[in-house]
Amino acid sequence: MLKCLAACALAAALCFCGGALIKGYYMYRAAIEEVCLEDKVSAIQAKENYTAFDQLPEIYVDAVLSVEDHRFYSHPGIDVIAIARAAFNDIRAGAFVEGGSTVTQQLAKNLYFTQEKELERKVAEMFLAFDLERSYSKNEILELYVNTIYFGNGYYCVGDASQGYFGKEPEDMTDYESTLLAGVPNAPSCYAPTVSPRLAAQRQAQVVARMVKCGYFTEERAHETLAAEIDW
């Protein structure tokens, strides 16, 4: 009896996943047929405050990758390890509590899709992530990503955020400013420094701790960075 129930559950799960895969593929096809990827990218690059990769401080890049996608330069657009971990946590919680999305998948979402956590949309993201990885270099993908994320206060790219929060170009950001800004997109309504300096500082501390864990910072440099607090 138990074996029969297990077999039925497995069959139902496979049917559900197969249906989501098909629907996700058609969602992906509909999206790129409406506006091709090259046109989407060109529109982003035409932004007034678009920031090129070589204008980003190395510390800012390291901070973003530490908290968003530390295997970015080694995966093909999706991170199987992160997806498996997220799936396990989601199943345990009985809800979508962890995404497992790479920077490439997040860029795909920002270019074409809504923020709703639907399985079909996640599948469509994966197809688009593969397209992005085939068409653009890793640095170009990361460059596009930081020019399409929301930083709070109406700032929708790193250039606007750097100017708005610090009054300077991204390339001139200090280690303190870089690590602070890298933490904001996770929850801009909470972590924007002009909304809550306390929560922004707590998030920044998490970013710096991840940088230490990922090998980008020593403990000493982490302490020095966080000690350089500025007034808001």
Give me the residue spans of the domains in the chain.
Answer: 19-227
The tokens describing 131, both together, are 């397209």
pLDDT in tens, 112-138: 987 666 788 889 999 999 999 999 999
Q: Which helix (H) or strand (E) holds 11?
A: helix 2-34
Helix axes 138-146, 58-68, angle to 10 degrees: 90
Residue 170: per-residue pLDDT: 98
Amino acid identity at 176: Y
* 228, 204 Cβ separation under 8 angstroms: no
Rounded to an integer, what distance in angstroms lies between the CA atom of residue 71 and that of residue 91? 24
Which architecture, in CATH terms, is 19-227? Orthogonal Bundle (1.10)
Q: Is residue 85 scored above 70 in pLDDT?
A: no
What mean pLDDT value characterizes the chain?
87
pLDDT in tens, 140-154: 999 999 999 999 999
Span of 150-154, 202-206, 224-228 with lowest mean pLDDT: 224-228
pLDDT in tens, 91-119: 454 444 445 699 999 999 999 987 666 78
Q: Is residue 90 scored above 70 in pLDDT?
A: no
Identify the residue with better confidence: 204 or 16.
204
The tokens describing 166, both together, are 């610090």
Beta strands in 3-51 (DSSP E): none
Tell me the backbone φ, ψ of residue 35, rounded to 5 degrees: -140, 120
pLDDT in tens, 21-79: 899 999 999 999 999 999 999 999 999 999 999 999 999 999 999 999 999 999 999 98
pLDDT in tens, 161-189: 999 999 999 999 999 999 999 999 999 99
Q: Is residue 13 scored above 50 in pLDDT?
A: no
